[in-house]
Amino acid sequence: MIYLRFPTHEDRQLIEDYKNECLTYDNVESIHGSANLTQFSFDEWLENVQKDRYKETVREHLVPAHTFLIMENQTLVGMCNIRHELNDFLYHIGGHIGYSVRPSQRRKGYAKQALRLAVQFLQEQKGIQRVLVTCDEDNIASSCTIEACGGILDNMFVSENGEVIKRYWIE
Ligand SMILES: CC(C)(COP(=O)(O)OP(=O)(O)OC[C@H]1O[C@@H](n2cnc3c(N)ncnc32)[C@H](O)[C@@H]1OP(=O)(O)O)[C@@H](O)C(=O)NCCC(=O)NCCS
């Protein structure tokens, strides 16, 4: 059974390990659902995710969001970022929820469990009944995750740089 919890200063090493594993194995520059973990020092990142939870303190040009660690016992298996509202970019491309599972923990059902918890968080804590979840057209793992959680495909959106985004609603 997994659970979502807030990151704290004590998680520095867990999160550094998570970041290094994703960057090494995925060969990417940013990590989905991590609130741009790769772009800041740990202390700056933690301060950002704490500020971003509230309308009063969220960083400029962003909507309030919760960033959670996806935990199985004491193991950090993934991260998710849950947006409390949609702006134009999120409505077309980003959706309400971003998530990743670390490469060594994939294909164990963690993304499906985490997405269900994230949807439940928005519905129960934020009163949002229709949740938008998106993925790139060629991200099979993510589209399977969304569909397994009841996502209904609304449409495909083509971004300015030609990426095709699948937009799903979960009720
Ligand atoms: C997408 C991601 C979160 C899936 O995590 P996961 O924990 O491995 O997913 P699950 O084990 O819960 O599997 C979910 C579904 O995807 C399928 N799946 C997972 N990985 C797959 C793969 N590489 N190829 C095909 N299907 C895959 C599973 O079979 C399952 O579908 P099913 O219920 O129909 O059997 C993970 O691959 C990841 O972190 N990718 C990089 C970041 C990312 O793309 N995030 C999503 C952004 S939109």
pLDDT of 127 > 90? The answer is yes
Q: Which pair of tokens denotes residue 25?
A: 């194995």
b/e per residue 3-33 (b: at least 16 CB within 10 A): ebeebeeebeeebeebbebbeeeeeeeebbb
pLDDT digits (tens, 9 = 90+) for 64-121: 999 999 999 999 999 999 999 999 999 999 999 999 999 999 999 999 999 999 999 9
Rounded to whole angstroms, the Cα distance separating 49 from 31 reads 15
Rounded to whole angstroms, the Cα distance separating 102 from 22 reads 6
Is 28's C-beta closer than 6 angstroms to any atom of ligand 1?
Answer: no
Task: Name the closest-CA residue to atom 40, ligand 1.
Answer: 100
pLDDT of 150 > 90? The answer is yes
Is 106's C-beta closer than 6 angstroms to any atom of ligand 1?
Answer: yes
Average pLDDT over residues 38-55: 98
Residue 85, phi then psi, degrees to nearest 5: -155, 170
Q: Taking all residues of the chain, what is their mean pLDDT, rounded to a whole number?
A: 97
Is 112's C-beta closer than 6 angstroms to any atom of ligand 1?
Answer: yes
Atom number of ligand 1 nearest to Cα 115: 12
What per-residue confidence (pLDDT) applies to 27?
Answer: 87
Rounded to whole angstroms, the Cα distance separating 16 from 37 reads 9
The CATH class, in words, for 2-170 is alpha beta
Q: Which pair of tokens denotes residue 86?
A: 């949609």
Beta bridge partners of 133: 168
Q: How far is the CA of 142 from the centre of ligand 1 (A)?
A: 5
Ramachandran area for residue 47 (φ above 0: left; ψ -120 to 50: alpha; else beta):
alpha
